[in-house]
Amino acid sequence: MIKLQVEGQPNKVQPFLHDLKQRPQIELIHQEVKNKGMTGQIDVSVTCYVRHRPDRRLRMVQMVTAEGAIINLPMLDLIVVEIEEGVRVFCGKVYDVFG
């Protein structure tokens, strides 16, 4: 387990932590949030406990067509972002051994 300390303005810290959570090789175990008064502005301090799992680079994306057929796509370094409720964007690397 790795302890990660992130400090700064909330509008800078939150996107960083969101990006960290999207990475499949980083497993967020626990986080603690504290508000701090630093440099006259309200800053935040977040302590994250994470586990680095480099073996999780390959993940399977499964899609179901309107007819019920299942399509499996193996993807490397997959990042999944939910842009609105029920709508997700998948970003990663796909390889074709027959291409």
Say yes or no: 65 and 38 in one domain: no
Q: Domain tally for the chain?
A: 2
Question: Does residue 87 share a domain with residue 47?
Answer: no
Q: Per the domain annotation, does 39 fall within a domain?
A: yes
Would you give the end-to-end CA distance of the chain in angstroms?
Answer: 40
pLDDT at 49: 94
Residues 40, 67 within the same domain: no
User: Is residue 99 included in any domain, yes or no?
Assistant: no
Quote the domain boundaries for residue 84.
57-93
Residues 6+ apart with CB under 8 A from 92: 59, 61, 75, 76, 77, 78, 79
For residue 73, what are the contacts with CB-CB under 8 A and spacing of at least 6?
60, 61, 62, 63, 94
pLDDT at 72: 92
How far is residue 11 CA from its own chain's centroid? 17
Give the pLDDT band of residue 46 (cuts 50, 70, 90).
very high
Does 25 lie in the same domain as 61? no
CA-to-CA distance for 68 and 71, rounded, in angstroms? 10
pLDDT of residue 16: 92
